[in-house]
Amino acid sequence: MQARPARQRQRIDGDEVRVDKVGNLYVVATPIGNLADMVPRALAVLQQVNWIAAEDTRHSGRLLDHFGIDTPMIPYHDHSDTRQSQRLLDLLVQGSDIALISDAGTPLISDPGYRLVRDARALGVGIIPVPGPCAAIVALSAAGLPSDRFAFEGFLPAKSRQRRKVLESLQSETRTLIFYEAPHRVLVSLEDMATLFGHGREALLARELTKAHETLIFAPLEVLIERVREDGNQQRGEIVVIVRGAETALEAYDDAEAVRILSLLMAELPLKQAAALAAKITGGSKNDLYQRALALKD
């Protein structure tokens, strides 16, 4: 498919007056599932730009076909080689308008694009956001947890030890926490959250948002884990997990102190005895502390 010609550019050259103008980079949100969520402005931009930079051209091709859009696509993701990125930057500098889209939702939110946006801005290219769906915000809107302050953590590390280290660093976080998670890791991630945040911490599992099999399950982490363990369907599709933050800074401090005491006792006692004694000293849950002891041992 041939690219649409870049708009006419003129340049000051001797006695001839010309105006030189670079193109614009549009950061365009697309539906996360339900195609009816496509906003009119996004459709207009995708129809009018010279090129569309897409994370997966085959996946995005189905979206464009649905809306009858024939704008040519160029594959782009943050792991593209420098030649591909430079090609897009050259087109922008030469006057072409480009729309950046991801496979679903808003680009740059745990999706490709930030390097291209940064480099394009440095060249004087106009950056124009075209807002639309974002799975993290959609899930937060349905969580019923404090939304005046929240922290988006994206995907947790795949390896257990690194994942627990990240979660441990968030134990004292009082803001509502938002995570994306892969379906094959959601159960172990929820179990690690329960171990490090407490089994009674409230959370929302939001799965397949806006799609036919959308499910929203709000419950304490220990209940959520059982639901996911018993129902294999909850380990499929695209998943967002929203977790209530620590209620107060004092609660967060006490929680960290309980883990510190538990660690000291574990050096001298068997796990069960260490957890039981730590529970008596701190007033915490013996079961929670035992689960934490297992995590610390691993």
Tens-place pLDDT, residues 200-222: 899 999 999 999 999 999 999 99
**Highest-confidence segment of 193-197, 237-241, 270-274:** 237-241
Indicate the CATH number for domain 24-133. 3.40.1010.10
Q: Is the pLDDT of residue 19 over 70?
A: no
Reduced to 3 states (helix: H, G, I; strand: E, B; else coil), residue 124 is: coil
Q: Is the pLDDT of residue 243 over 90?
A: yes
Segments making up each domain of the chain, as ranges: 24-133, 136-243, 249-297
Q: Which two tokens stand for residue 206?
A: 């939001």
**Highest-confidence segment of 7-21, 81-95, 209-223:** 209-223
Q: Is the pLDDT of residue 248 over 70?
A: no
Q: Is the pLDDT of residue 15 over 60?
A: no
Q: Is the pLDDT of residue 49 over 90?
A: yes
For the chain, the first-to-last Cα distance in angstroms comes to: 55
CB 202 within 8 A of CB 220: yes
pLDDT at position 9 is 43
pLDDT at position 146 is 95
CB 190 within 8 A of CB 241: yes
pLDDT at position 293 is 84
Q: What is the mean pLDDT of residues 3-10?
A: 50
Reduced to 3 states (helix: H, G, I; strand: E, B; else coil), residue 133 is: coil
Q: Is the pLDDT of residue 35 over 70?
A: yes
The angle that helices 271-282 and 249-266 make with each other, rounded to 10 degrees, is 140
pLDDT at position 250 is 47
pLDDT at position 254 is 58
Q: Is the pLDDT of residue 1 over 50?
A: no
Q: Is the pLDDT of residue 31 over 50?
A: yes
Name the more confident of 246 and 248. 246
Tens of pLDDT, residues 106-158: 999 887 788 899 999 999 999 999 999 999 999 999 999 999 999 999 999 99
Q: Please report, rounded to a whole number, the percentage of residues in the chain having pLDDT higher than 90.
A: 67
Report the alpha-carbon distance of residue 247 to residue 204 in Å, rounded: 16
Amino acid at 134: C
In 165-210, which ranges are E strands? 176-181, 202-207
In the chain, which ranges are E strands? 24-28, 51-54, 73-75, 98-101, 126-130, 150-155, 176-181, 202-207, 215-220, 239-243
Q: Name the pLDDT band for 6 (thresholds 50, 70, 90).
A: low
CB 271 within 8 A of CB 294: yes
Class of domain 136-243 as given by CATH: alpha beta
CB 218 within 8 A of CB 240: no
pLDDT at position 257 is 76
Nearest CA-CA partner of 229 in 289, 188, 195:
188
Q: Is the pLDDT of residue 22 over 80?
A: yes
Q: Is the pLDDT of residue 184 over 70?
A: yes
Reduced to 3 states (helix: H, G, I; strand: E, B; else coil), residue 79 is: coil
Q: Name the pLDDT band for 18 (thresholds 50, 70, 90).
A: very low
Q: What percent of the chain is helix, strand and coil (3-state, nearest 5)?
A: 45, 20, 40
Q: Residue 241 pairs with which residues in a beta bridge?
A: 179, 205
Q: Name the pLDDT band for 294 (thresholds 50, 70, 90).
A: confident
